[in-house]
Amino acid sequence: MAEIASSVWYQIIVTDPHGLSGASVASFVEPIIRRLAVTVVVALDLIGACPGLMRHEKQALGRDEFLRKVADATQYDWAFFLLYSRTSGPEGLGADNDKAAMLSADATIRLADDHYFYVYTRDEGLASELRREYPAAEYKTSAFGELDIPY
């Protein structure tokens, strides 16, 4: 894990004009999930009007089931979505903090303060695509310990 933490991480912060509605969150996360060939998603720290997904907090959900449930929300205030590709699985979920769980994921999407998508990844291609797709987004490259993770 120390090697992963010290590698290059990309942080992209996108403002959601739709206030993190279920439909807006689904349309933001779906291309990322498809791009990374994600097979499993784990949701943590869910706060908001998201009853369908709330019942499955801390559970590994298949990609398609997650995409159905994530859209079925009125609004998200806060959440972590840990994304896992075919080559990895949800490890670190027994950890005492979200940062430890993030280190085992292929990418993490943090929904924050009713308005922001924070994307954390080591995948340079994904970071570049997001930068092109959202030119007004804040963009940062750093080691894991230097990422801005809102709580």
Q: What is the pLDDT of residues 2-11, one digit of tens each?
A: 787 789 999 9
pLDDT the model gives residue 100: 84
Would you state the pLDDT for residue 54? Answer: 92
Task: Give residue 22's pLDDT band: very low, low, confident or very high (50, 70, 90).
Answer: very high
Please give the Cα distance from 105 to 22 (Å, whole number): 22
Ordered strands of the 38-49 beta sheet: 60-62, 38-49, 75-85, 107-112, 116-121, 9-15, 138-142
Query: Of all helices (H) and strands (E), which one includes residue 37?
Result: none
d(CA 101, CA 40): 14
| Domain layout of the chain by residue ranges | 2-144
75-114 pLDDT tens trace: 999 999 999 996 556 655 554 577 888 998 999 999 999 9
- The long-range contacts involving 62-66, CB below 8 angstroms and separated by at least 24 positions, are 63/33, 63/38, 63/39, 66/33, 66/41
